[in-house]
Amino acid sequence: MQKEIVYFELNNWMPNTDYPNAEPFKTWVSYKHFNFDNEEWIKENKLVVVRTVVDMSANWCITATKEWVLKNCPELLTKYTKFLRYPDEDGELPYGRFDSPFYEYTDKNIGWHFIDDEEY
């Protein structure tokens, strides 16, 4: 059975605009923790994270199982849906607000992927 996949995008610049101004999101994007740049944490959580730089901020396009989202940040699916991204009508993977890509959820892709602005 194929897992349900959730795509969401966070940026550490402005609360409510670029990330939900609520836990656990505030901790995850804080400079103290920067969870989505921590490859060990990412692999433990079986996430696919594409990291880009937007001006002076960190931007993350995150591919996760719905099971992970329900366990760790269920309000993403109800209260904070503006941070969700969806495949297009042909099923092609989404792109983030700043045209950064999401990677497919595969065992090979689980981990941290940095893309500089010249690559996309």
Q: Note down pLDDT in tens along the chain; length 120 residues.
A: 578 999 999 999 999 999 999 999 999 999 999 999 999 999 999 999 999 999 999 999 999 999 999 999 999 999 999 999 999 999 999 999 999 999 999 999 999 999 986 555
Tokens 């880009």 correspond to what residue?
A: 52
The greatest distance separating any two alpha carbons of the chain, rounded to the nearest whole angstrom, comes to 41
Measured between alpha carbons, how far is 69 from 88 in angstroms, rounded to an integer? 21
Structure pTM? 0.94
Measured between alpha carbons, how far is 47 from 28 in angstroms, rounded to an integer? 13
Contact call for residues 102 and 85 (beta carbons, < 8 A):
yes
43 token code pair: 């692999």
What is the length of the chain? 120
Q: How many Cα atoms sit within 13 Å of 15 on the Cβ side?
A: 9
Determine the residue type at 47: L
